[in-house]
Amino acid sequence: MCGIIGYSGHRPAVPLIMDGLHRLEYRGYDSAGVAFGHYDKIKVVKAEGKLAALEEKLKSNEALLATTGIGHTRWATHGLPVERNAHPHLSQEGDIAIIHNGIIENFLEIKEQLESQGHAFVSDTDTEVLVHLIGEERKTASSLREAFARALRRARGAYAVAIISQEEPGVIYAARMSAPLLLGVGVGECFVASDIPAFLPYTREVVFLEDGEIVRVCDGQWQVWALENMAPVEKEVNHIPWDMQAAAKGGHKHFMLKEIMEQPRVVTDCLSGRIVNTDTGKRVCFPEMDALPVPERLHIVACGTSYNAGLWARQLLENIGGVPVDLDIASEFRYRDPMLRSGEMVLVISQSGETADTLAALRLAREKGCKVIGLCNVVGSSIAREAHVVLYTQAGPEISVASTKAMCSQMTLLTLLALYYGQRRNPDFSDGGLLDGLLDLPQLLEANLPSMNEKAQTLAKKFADSQDFFYLGRGQYQALAFEGALKLKEISYIHAEGYAFGEMKHGPIALISPDFPTFAFALDDDLYPKVKSNIQEVLARSGRIVALVQEQGRELGALGVEELWMLPKAHPVISSFLTLPALQLFSYQVADYLGKDVDQPRNLAKSVTVE
């Protein structure tokens, strides 16, 4: 989604803002712009496309003089991704500039009213309406701060906004409602931003703003008020231990590859502190969960890859944890008036912790009196703060828009959760070697990822000219088939469909032809004989197949499977963790071979903070 950064301090603001915008690029964007004080005026420079275009324009500006400014990368929600719609936008008099992430739902109504008062707009955006409204309110308000607050009180929807003005040089006002906004506090300087990496090289001291709060920053000074009544709000300054190295590519060509290769460490970090040795053997410990009862039913709600992780875990939570599970896509759950009985709980899964639909689902569940567990990666994110209990996946920042290591960490944590519930329900619970399998997994991945990457590269060259792909699996591999298709389509733009193998003969098999290859999950588990029959059905219709196999699947070559991708033998649940990087690496190598923008695929954003 849009990236926001503002700076007020003693250094040239614009280069620092550009630096911050570069670090927010991973969120996805289609245009960018900055605003800064220029003598006694506000100057705005913006450009369509990548940040390089904006940098080019800034060369001919005297931007280095400014020590206060705001910058924005836009992901279009209202109006085309063209320069005139890019942020910052100016008020009617041109004396206030605004940047905004989110959607003002009632902007048309406000726009009509402002037009009747003589306002003229140059963009199609809701944001420009908001800054005109601030300007209009300023005519009667006693201060800019009051005008800002009044305008925000009239706006319905989601926003993280920041403004600078001619009237108060050196000052930034910012506010949030249902969109992320943070304050970075340095020595003699302050930052406002949508995300921590934007200012991490300059300060690690962070204040998390809450919905309905307004902040004023000026050099190193800052103050927060409640939007509702302008009462001052005491805020805590948090120290962030992250290091920027964690956000660099680590020698790989793309963040996506780096993040796939990081999965051994991700599993280790996710397990750390969560398995203890007792007299009766190893046990999972989640002290944060101990105060909650084992739910009578768990409703898992998430979007995209996080949803696929939830789907993958359903069977484990039911069979190992003994907890019945319902599963919903967040954008459906929030509008279907779900039945949530007492004793049931909602588990929301989100890497970013800011996905608008998932956050709305969380709030709905809370309104209905349901306890909510948040499974999140980003510390201090909205979902993490609003859930009753949060389980952090501890995967580190995920920069590539396509989610990879986050799913691995979600699957690890969900496996632990299933084991944890199993332990709590039954004192004689036995994990069947699964905990040992998890503990050995980092080493297993470490040993196999390099050769998997080579195999993926070979296969990519062979299959990259396909226009369509099926991903087919059964049992736990149904979710991985969905994920495989999602990964391939989002970064290579090849049409891909994920299906449960058993569903093929109910329609989709009509599509099978030599031009419509299949990526099959044929691992050694109880369903292997069924999968083998399904594979034969595809082969009988001249379908080409790449199959992920272990020992049993060796025989499939003789049946006509074109490519066998051998994976090592492992505990049946652990085998899923080997197929995940295989499908990720295949998508990655196809997209890279086709020369696509792997880390920032078209039309996509890392953090989907609008519905």
Would you tell me which residues interact with ligand F6R (CB under 6 A)? 303-306, 350-352, 355, 358, 402-403, 486, 490, 608
Shortest reach from residue 307's CB to ligand F6R, in Å: 7
Judged by beta carbon, residue 225 or residue 392, the one nearer ligand F6R is 392
Reading phi first (left if > 0) and then psi (alpha if -120 to 50, else beta), residue 47 is in beta
Find the catalytic residue in 2, 270, 370, 408: 2
Q: Are strands 371-376 and 344-350 parallel, antiparallel or unpaired?
A: parallel
Q: How far apart are CA 344 and CA 338, in angstroms?
A: 12
Q: What is the DSSP letter of 169?
A: T
Q: How far apart are CA 159 and CA 157, in angstroms?
A: 7
Q: Are strands 371-376 and 389-392 parallel, antiparallel or unpaired?
A: parallel
Shortest reach from residue 45's CB to ligand F6R, in Å: 31
> Quick check: is 376 catalytic?
no
Judged by beta carbon, residue 185 or residue 383, the one nearer ligand F6R is 383
Nearest to 251 by CA among 242, 243, 261, 241: 261
Judged by beta carbon, residue 556 or residue 608, the one nearer ligand F6R is 608
Nearest residue to ligand F6R, using CB?
Answer: 304
Q: What is the DSSP string of 375-441?
A: EESSTT-HHHHHSSEEEE-------SSS--HHHHHHHHHHHHHHHHHHHHH-TT---TTHHHHHHHH
> Quick check: is 2 catalytic?
yes
Judged by beta carbon, residue 214 or residue 356, the one nearer ligand F6R is 356
- SS (HEC) of 67-126: CEEEEEEECCCCCCCCHHHCCCEECCCCCEEEEEEEEECCHHHHHHHHHHCCCCCCCCCH
Shortest reach from residue 130's CB to ligand F6R, in Å: 26
Shortest reach from residue 401's CB to ligand F6R, in Å: 6
Shortest reach from residue 141's CB to ligand F6R, in Å: 38
Estimate the crossing angle of helix 304-319 against helix 476-492, to 10 degrees.
170
Judged by beta carbon, residue 351 or residue 589, the one nearer ligand F6R is 351
Q: How far apart are CA 604 and CA 611, in angstroms?
A: 13
C-beta neighbour count of 245 within 10 angstroms: 7
Q: How far apart are CA 407 and CA 501, in angstroms?
A: 22
Find the catalytic residue in 111, 532, 596, 606: 606
Shortest reach from residue 458's CB to ligand F6R, in Å: 24
Strand partners, 90: 97
Shortest reach from residue 107's CB to ligand F6R, in Å: 25
Give me 170's structure tokens.
């050196």
From residue 188, give the alpha-carbon distance in Å to each of 143, 181, 201, 218, 580.
24, 20, 15, 9, 47
Judged by beta carbon, residue 58 or residue 361, the one nearer ligand F6R is 361
Q: How far apart are CA 177 and CA 363, in angstroms?
A: 14
Judged by beta carbon, residue 48 or residue 398, the one nearer ligand F6R is 398
Shortest reach from residue 355's CB to ligand F6R, in Å: 3
Judged by beta carbon, residue 348 or residue 578, the one nearer ligand F6R is 348
Nearest to 272 by CA among 393, 418, 434, 415: 393
Quick check: 141 and 135 in contact, CB under 8 A? no
CA angle 205, 209, 212 (to 5 degrees): 165
Active-site residues: which are they? 2, 606
